[in-house]
């Protein structure tokens, strides 16, 4: 299954008047990054960056002056996302802006049934929130220290890790910025299957208090408790 985790930055909040000025996306195949990415800054064609937006993403009008316009990158973007599910955080915002840009060019719009909104997923899984991208990174122990400003490609990379956590997938094998070591595992049928492994193991999520509480529980079960023979009893 092919998915594109993507994000946009814009000149402001009104898709009727404001313009997309940055698109970033990464490709997942069966929930693993393929290494293919899409990233472009876009000339806003005379629409100035709103000061509030500049505070968020730090992309100035001067930085965009020599960048391609949306008509110049539209076909490359559509080719990159062709046939894939589209995954974004607060997806209505990004899709609304992209479809506004595509509509100006009379190009096919991105259909809503292709879109997965990770904000909606997070609100269902964590109804008490908060569910911003930064908050979800903190919840799942994902390093977002590089995110001093919003940026479409970096935010897509972080969102990919958050997305895998939200759907309960192979989060231990999702590595976006380091090489992944392939490990060959023999199966009962004699075949060999390549799995992936983090170079540095994830930090344990159990706290010392939780370990102590577990130990007290096990100690109260008695000497003949089946639990004592389990490896988990020694957590």
CB 203 within 8 A of CB 141: yes
Whether 150 is catalytic is yes
Question: 100: cis peptide before it, omega within 30°?
Answer: no
d(CA 228, CA 129): 37
Point out the catalytic residue in the list 39, 50, 57, 150: 150
112 within 8 A of 139, measured Cβ to Cβ: no
Active site residues: 150
């Amino acid at each position: 299954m092919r998915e594109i985790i993507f994000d946009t930055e814009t000149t402001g909040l009104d898709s009727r008047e404001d313009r997309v000025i940055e698109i970033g996306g990464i490709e997942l195949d069966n929930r693993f990054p393929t290494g293919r990415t899409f990233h472009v800054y876009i000339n806003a064609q005379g629409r100035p960056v709103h000061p509030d937006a500049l505070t968020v993403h730090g992309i100035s009008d001067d930085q965009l002056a020599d960048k391609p316009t949306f008509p110049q990158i539209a076909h490359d973007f559509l080719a990159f996302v062709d046939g894939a599910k589209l995954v974004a955080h607060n997806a209505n915002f990004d899709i609304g802006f992209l479809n506004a840009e595509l509509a100006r060019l009379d190009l096919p719009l991105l259909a809503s049934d292709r879109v997965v909104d990770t904000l909606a997923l997070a609100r269902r899984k964590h109804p008490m929130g908060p569910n911003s991208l930064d908050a979800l990174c903190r919840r799942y122990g994902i390093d977002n220290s590089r995110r001093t400003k919003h940026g479409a490609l970096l935010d897509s990379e972080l969102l990919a890790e958050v997305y895998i956590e939200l759907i309960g997938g192979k989060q231990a094998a999702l590595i976006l910025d380091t090489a992944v070591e392939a490990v060959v595992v023999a199966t009962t049928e004699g075949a060999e299957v390549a799995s992936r492994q983090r170079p540095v193991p994830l930090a344990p999520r159990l706290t010392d208090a939780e370990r102590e509480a577990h130990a007290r529980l096990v100690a109260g079960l008695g000497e003949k408790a089946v639990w004592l023979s389990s490896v988990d009893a020694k957590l």
